Amino acid sequence: MPSGVFCKTHLSAILSAKKKNISSSPHRLALISHRTWNGRLKTDMTVMKWWNVRKRHLFVMDELSTVIRFTGWCSHQSSLTRSYTVVPVLYADGTLGEKLFVVLAEPDGQFPQSGYWSAPNLCLVAGTSHIMRKDQVPSLISKCVMSGSYPTTTIALLDSWPGLKDHANILSGVPPGKHLKMMTVPPGATALCQPLDVYFLRLFKRYIRRIHESAVHMKPEFCCFSRNNILKVLSQTYRQFCAPRFRECFKYAWFAAGYIDSHPEPFTTPTDFSFNEDPVDDLCRGTEHCSSHAFVRCCWCEKLYASTVLLY
């Protein structure tokens, strides 16, 4: 039997077993909550930021940990490896949080006092490891989840990660006058019913990989694994993903995970829109004086940009 067929069959058996275990578990949140929450949505006829029930909204958080390892020329051998974790916040109406939470591994656990790149759509924290620590969770809640003009009550769907089991620690990051309610996905169910894992994160990784491939091809001197360039790519990727045209695309993550019954309207993915739908075969339109070859289409204004404009 071909190995690919065996792998698919084996994976299906594993997922089927997990579904049976979850359905027989007393913590059947991932399966029974779909209809319950969806019924409340239909009752109030309002869908906003994970499930908006008048003054409430529901969102999902998850981690995407990445270890970048490249072989090639670099100024320092230590620059060959760089690790980071991003924690996006996805709402049920297909929008994303204002900021992307980024945990970047640094040798001494701290960013330099000056000289590193930052962006208004990134919330940066450093650590000796790229894994998010428990003491960093309140900062995530206050700066990326409960910041801005969001409704008074927020409902969060969280993973079964140990750092999110201490609800008192999580609530310490909630600003005064606001309330956070938490629902936890049972262990082993993340791949089945966590919207970010089911659909969103693969789109995010695909977009970053495409930027890396294009940048290295067109600008060989571009170092994908330096701190500043990692942050530039993350910032630009997140900014493109926040474009209103992708709301239906990201709502599909909720549909695929089983939380909503109606299929979203036809949509395109960020990578397809930026790189694949129409051949990006023209000069940069970012500035009047740029004569470089374009490699990406902006998801907001639809202009073509070169790597010199997008990442420098």
Give the DSSP letter string of 148-210: SS--SEEEEEE---GGGS-HHHHHTTSPTT-EEEEEEPPTT-HHHH-HIIIIIHHHHHHHHHH
pLDDT in tens, 188-204: 888 888 888 899 999 99
Site of tokens 């309140």: 138
Is residue 134 pLDDT above 80, yes or no?
Answer: yes
Domain boundaries, the chain: 29-266, 278-312
Q: What is the pLDDT of residue 189?
A: 85
pLDDT in tens, 51-95: 333 334 456 666 555 444 333 333 344 444 678 889 999 988 899
Is residue 149 pLDDT above 60, yes or no?
Answer: yes
Q: What is the pLDDT of residue 163?
A: 83
Is residue 181 pLDDT above 50, yes or no?
Answer: yes
Residue range 11-36: mean pLDDT, rounded: 48
Q: What is the pLDDT of residue 289?
A: 62
CA distances from 105 to 13, 76, 112, 167, 187 (A): 37, 16, 12, 26, 27
Residue range 145-154: mean pLDDT, rounded: 77
Q: Which of 129-133, 177-181, 264-268, 290-294 is predicted with the least confidence, judged by mean pLDDT?
A: 290-294
Phi then psi for residue 260, to 5 deg, are -130, 150
